[in-house]
Each structure stands twice: as C-alpha cells, then as structure tokens.
Structure 1
Amino acid sequence: MATEGSLNPEVPVSAAASSRMTMDLKPRKAVLEALEDITYGSIAGVVGKYIEYPFDTVKVRLQSQPDHLPLRYKGPLDCFRQSIRADGFLGLYRGISAPLVGAALETSSLFFFEGVGREVIYSSGLSPRGIDLPLSSLWLTGAFSGAFTSFILTPIELVKCKIQVPETEVGGKARTPLKPLQVIKDVYRHQGLRGFWHGQLGTLIREAGGCAAWFGSKETTTRLLRDFNEKRANSEEERAQMRAAPLPLWQQAVAGASAGMAYNFLFFPADTIKSRMQTTPISESTKHSTFVKEGAALWKQAGLKGFYRGCGVTVLRSAPSSAFIFMVYDGLKKYLPMQ
C-alpha cells in the first residue's frame, strides 16, 4: 500500500512532503553545480593553457630582464626568435606541467567562486532569483572570484616563473633547466612555506581587478551581441527563440576574446611587478623585496614603458585562449549537464 509522499502518481503528495523534497534537492543541486564548475573549469583551463603557454613564456622573459644589464630582448618577436634558436619550439613549453595543474585549479576556482559570489548576492536579497544579475553585480562577482583564487594561484605562478626564465643571462654561464619539484624544494629550504606566496599582492591586484573585467566584459559583450541579434529579428517569436538559444559560435568567441584582452591589459603593471619578484634567484633573500620597492625600482630603470614589457604579446595570446576557455566551459555545461 502506498503511503503519503510516495512516488505513486495516484496518491497526492502533501504540501509538507513536497517542501521536504524541494529542500532535499537544493543541496544536491548546489553540489552538482559546484562539481560542474570544478570539472568543466579544469578542462577549459587546460585547453586554454596549451594555447597560451608559449606566449606566456615570452611575456615572463620580457618582464624579468634584470636592471643591471642591457636588455636581452628587443621585443616579443626577438624573444621568440632567440628562445626557439636556443631551445627549439618545445623550449617555449618548458615547465608546462606545473602551469597545467595551475590552469586547472585557477579556471575551476574562478568559475566556482564566481558561482559562490552569485549565490551570496541572491541570498542577501540584493537581486531576486530567476532573473539575470545586473552587469554591475557580475563585475563584482568576478572581483570576488579573483581575490579568492589569487591565494591558490600565487605559489603555482611562482614555480612557473622561476622555470620560464632563460637558462643563461647575458654573458653568463648556462645552467641546467629547472624542474618543478626542484624549485619547490629550493623555495621551501631558503624561504620556508611563506616563500611560496612571494608576490601575492601583485597576484591579488591582477586577479581581483582582472577577473572583474574578465567576467564583466564577457557578459557585457554577450548582452550587446544578443541585443544586436534580437533587433534584426523579424518577429517576436523569432526574438524569443534567439533569447532561448546560445549565441552563434563566432559571437561566443568574440565575447570570450574581449574578456581575455580586458583581463590582461587593465592590470598588466601589477603582473609585471609580480613576475619580477617571483623570478628573483631562489638563493637570494626576498624578505626586503616588496611590491612597492620592486615597482619603484622598475620605474627608475625604465619608466612607464617598463611596466608594459610583454603586454602586446600577452593581450594577443589572451584573445584565442580566453575565447576557447569560455566556449569549452559553456559548451560542456550545455551539452553534458550533471544536474
């Protein structure tokens, strides 16, 4: 005999039982959403990292040129040429193992914490559930996401940057390429656990501001393109179909590319200072190297131009990388939902 609240369609479910079922589904839905963000964000991050890593290597090498020596590279193309001549094209992928882990952690964390930020806004009553958040809130959730992610990202970027610097300095002696485990051991031996967060302020500024622009620009461009498409519709029915369907792939790519370019350009000076701090030789004490002192030294050496070394190549590589990240993530969420 069926009891109240059973799945027998002939037996009505009481309001209390229905409420309990709804409450039981909420935690499950939240867990599945978090799992989607982590899993699909990780996959998207790895894809994006393979696309951008050679450009990132060039960017770090341009940023980390020492103050006391003549500039080794004339620009991005010269850096590419010298790097390929010295190590071959695969040399531009040196040290990618740690960044792949970092990319998976970074991108999954960004989408996860951005989702947490949205939930905070909904739970606080600042915006009703069931409708799209205003763009100002989406920029805010992006900053929230970037700030938390920066603490995960700094140690990974520190290892990456130390591996990416050239094997030789101008007139210097060649050294054996560093390995991630070797770098980790050396950092811990010389600087302790705290040493892994050297350059944290630079990462925090870059991620909080940059991710506000990353998520905000993507959503802003998406809505502009959607409005543009709907204005060209011939009927209300066609407009409704457009609202329900995702943007064409090329427009998704444009929205993702605009996000990556905004992220990298707006806070590039903070990233330059961070890279300089993190490429200091491990054996040298870094306790006196602060974000402000490093920035002042760079200003004295090269002026404003010094803060934007490698900016062009970084913005260039961020366009396809970010486009693929959002397209992969959104595509997986749409076609392989876990809920």
Structure 2
Amino acid sequence: MQIEGTSVFKGPVDCMMKTIKNEGILGLYKGMGSPLLGIAAVNSLLFWAYSHGKRLQTGSSGIEPTLGQIAIAGAGAGIVNSILASPVELLKVRLQVQYSDAGSAVFSGPVALGRHLASQFGLRGIMWGFWATVAREIPAYAAFYTAFEFTKRRFAHALTDGDASKLGVAPLMISGSAGGIGYWTASYPLDVIKSRVQNAAAPPSRGLGYMADAAKAVYSEQGMRGFFRGYSTSVVRSIPAAGVTFAVYELTIRALNQGGK
C-alpha cells in the first residue's frame, strides 16, 4: 500500500483480497524469507545496543533510568540496528512488491535477490536506503522503548507496589503492544519514505537529498494521506508482535538473572 498508492489498492482489506485473488494465500507471505532469516540477529543487536545505551547513562549502580534516558538509549539502538535492519528490509520490500506478470525479473527469495543487487550495484546495492532506515529507526525505537517502559512502570505501580520484576505475562504483553504502537506512530511517514527509496529503480546517489525527493513524490501523488497509507495495518500487526517480543525478552532476562544467582 505504501508503494502502490491509491491507484491499485483502496485500503488494507482491498489489498488483502486482491492479493489473495491474484496470487493465492501465499501472496500474503511474499518477502517473509528475509525477516525470517534475519530477525534473530536484528533483535539481538537491537536489544544489546539498547541495554548498552542504558548502562552508558546510568553506570552499573542499578539506578532505574529516566524515560528520557530510555528514549536516548532507544534512539541509539535504532542507529546501531540499522546496520542489519536496512538490508533485511530492503529485500523484504522489493520481494513484497514484485509480480510475475510485471515484465521484470522475479526472484525466488532473499538470497537470489541479494546476489542480484550485489552483482548490479556492489555494496551500495545491499545497503540501499541505509540512511533512510537510520532516519526511521531513531524516532521509532525512542518511542518503542519509552512507551513500553512507561506502560510497564504504570502497571508495576498499580499491581506490584512498583516492582516490575513481578509483573505477569499479560501486563508485559500490553506494555509491549504500547511500544509497538509508539514505534509506528512516531515513525510511519519516514517508513513510507524508506519503502519508496528502497523500491526505486536504482540505489540513490551520494547525499541525503533523495529522502526529500521521495517525500515530495509521495506528497505530489497523494497529499499528506500518502504518508499514512498502511498505518492501520502496521499498528494492528504491532500489537501482537511487539507484545510477544517484549514479554519473551523480559521473561528471558528474569530467567537468566535467576540462573546466575
């Protein structure tokens, strides 16, 4: 929806129905291989950078970081995370929008596409849209972690006398879902721009003006609404995805800490 605009899909339901009609149910899973292969490394790097960012600000004293420090750590983690997230997202975006009847090359998966981009453009082809990814990740993960921590702390004060380590799965999942909503709300227009950049005919030349050019193209085609095409779908997806991610992360950290005592 971000790339095709209003000329192809009227909305998320129309997009889903046309995809199933034209490509079958598996059409809804196009581009899945890239995040499936890369998500473990991406999330590992992300949460490591986030934890390190918190430690740099608070030291090893065990002092609870402020929400401002959480936001800074999240923004820094987003920058570091872009190193892996950019190529993963590039392959996903380009695989999701390819059609067998479009008259252009169709790739069977991320490996084949990655090889093609590398042979055509070298390293620039693999890191295509890196700075656009960085621009998205900074506000995205600042909001992601801040919304999670804010909601988790509110639950802790209400349910466990301020001890967040005693929260159950449900409060953690709701807090994680809040983080996912914060992620997309803070960064969605930038995600639209990133998708446009990564689906262009060729990697951008040097400089960062290409992001402004992509933004102008979106606005000229669809106005301000173009920057939010697909927002509702992303938010709906983020509720279970971020909820599970944070709940599993928090429970895993607890188990590791208990095992080390």
- The unaligned stretches of length 5 or more in structure 2 are none
**Which AA in structure 2 matches 1:228?**
A
**Which AA in structure 2 matches 1:287?**
S
Root-mean-square deviation (Å): 2.2
Quick one: structure 1 residues 215 and 244, their matched pair in 2 at CA, closer, same or farther if it must change by over 3 Å? Answer: closer
When structure 1 is superposed on structure 2, of 97-106 and 312-321 the one drifting more is 97-106
Q: CA deviation at 1:175?
A: 5.9
- Whether contact under 8 Å (2:157, 2:163) holds in the other structure is no
Partner in structure 1 of residue 15 of structure 2: 79
CA distance in 1, matches of 2:164, 2:67: 19
Which structure is higher in RCO with an 8 Å CA cutoff and minimum separation 6? Answer: 1
Quick one: structure 1 residues 189 and 335, their matched pair in 2 at CA, closer, same or farther if it must change by over 3 Å? Answer: same
When structure 1 is superposed on structure 2, of 288-297 and 214-223 the one drifting more is 288-297
Q: CA deviation at 1:309?
A: 0.7
CA displacement, residues 66-110 of structure 1 (integer Å, 9 cap, x when unaligned): 6xxx61111111111111122222222223222112211221111
CA displacement, residues 290-329 of structure 1 (integer Å, 9 cap, x when unaligned): 1111111111111110111101100111011000001111
Partner in structure 2 of residue 194 of structure 1: 124
CA distance in 1, matches of 2:225, 2:251: 39
Q: CA deviation at 1:210?
A: 0.7
When structure 1 is superposed on structure 2, of 208-217 and 129-138 the one drifting more is 129-138
Partner in structure 2 of residue 64 of structure 1: 3
1:290 aligned counterpart, secondary structure? helix
Give me the TM-score of the superposition, normalised by structure 2. Answer: 0.90
Question: Do residues 142 (structure 1) and 74 (structure 2) align?
Answer: yes
Partner in structure 2 of residue 331 of structure 1: 251
CA distance in 1, matches of 2:48, 2:188: 24
Question: Do residues 287 (structure 1) and 205 (structure 2) align?
Answer: yes
Q: In structure 1, which of residues 69, 73, 97 is the aligned counterpart of residue 33 of structure 2?
A: 97
CA distance in 2, matches of 1:244, 1:138: 16
- Whether contact under 8 Å (1:167, 1:177) holds in the other structure is no
Question: Do residues 206 (structure 1) and 127 (structure 2) align?
Answer: no
Quick one: structure 1 residues 243 and 286, their matched pair in 2 at CA, closer, same or farther if it must change by over 3 Å? Answer: closer
CA distance in 1, matches of 2:216, 2:105: 30
1:296-311 equivalences in 2 (<5 Å): 296-311=216-231
**Which AA in structure 1 matches 2:167?**
L
Higher Rg: 1
Partner in structure 1 of residue 114 of structure 2: 184
Give me the TM-score of the superposition, normalised by structure 1. Answer: 0.70
